[in-house]
Amino acid sequence: MNTAELRQKDIAGLQVEVKELQKAHFGLRMQKATQQLNNTATLRIARRNIARAKTILVEKQSVAKSAT
């Protein structure tokens, strides 16, 4: 998911997205541990997607907090 799609979501949607990305990352880690993961670059991509989603989530939370 790219940043434009993430920025369109609200705070609750972003929180759900972060949880889904973390579950996917956990699955990839388990595949790597059991030597079933062929492309280990997907781990790096998953970590970066999580970081991207968390960054946008914090930005939206700070904007919402300052608007209150």
Give the CATH number of the domain where residue 49 resides: 1.10.287
| pTM more than 0.85 | yes
Q: Give domain status of residue 51, yes or no.
A: yes
Q: Give domain status of residue 3, yes or no.
A: no
Per-residue pLDDT at 1: 79
Domain that includes residue 19, residue range: 9-67
Work out the pLDDT band at 5, boundaries 50, 70, 90: very high
Per-residue pLDDT at 68: 75
Q: Give domain status of residue 2, yes or no.
A: no
Q: Give domain status of residue 1, yes or no.
A: no
Question: Which whole number is the average pLDDT over 21-49?
Answer: 97
Q: Give domain status of residue 53, yes or no.
A: yes
The CA distance from 44 to 63, in Å, is 29
Per-residue pLDDT at 54: 98
Cα 42 vs. chain centroid, distance in angstroms? 13
Q: For the chain, what is the domain count?
A: 1
Q: Give domain status of residue 4, yes or no.
A: no
Q: Give domain status of residue 35, yes or no.
A: yes
